[in-house]
Amino acid sequence: MYQEMLASVQRKIVYSLFLVPKEMLRKRSRRSHLVASHQNPAAPRNLRASAGDVPSIEKSRPHTSKKLPGRNDPCWCGSGKKYKNCHLRADQRQAA
């Protein structure tokens, strides 16, 4: 009975180590396909060369909002109070 248990454990170990699930094989094949498609260094140059025919699009600047301190940080006004006890409510009203 002990020998049967050892044989069963050994089969399970061998099965889990040497038999790769199909999903893992699919992931590896996708990865190898992506790597193979990006190994051609001439491809990006060709795209840049043909981009001269397309009108340029003006880039918009990202919206930069004023960085406010955290609730428990010192207030930005320099009063020494916590931000939540000083200017938090006023800044929230101003933002709304």
pLDDT digit string (tens) for 24-33?
A: 666 666 666 6
Residue 22 maps to a domain: no
Tell me if 86 is assigned to some domain. yes
How far apart, in Å, do the first and last CA atoms of the chain sit? 75
89 in a domain, yes or no? yes
67 and 54 Cβ atoms separated by less than 8 Å: no
Q: How many domains does the chain have?
A: 1
Q: Which residue range is the domain that position 77 belongs to?
A: 69-96
Sign of the Cα pseudo-torsion (50, 54, 55, 56, in order): negative
Residue 95 lies in a domain: yes
Structure confidence by residue, pLDDT tens digits, 21-70: 666 666 666 666 665 555 555 555 555 555 555 556 666 666 556 677 88
List Cβ neighbours of 72 (8 Å cut-off, separation of 6 or more). Answer: 82, 83, 84
Please give the average per-residue pLDDT across 71-96, as a whole number: 89
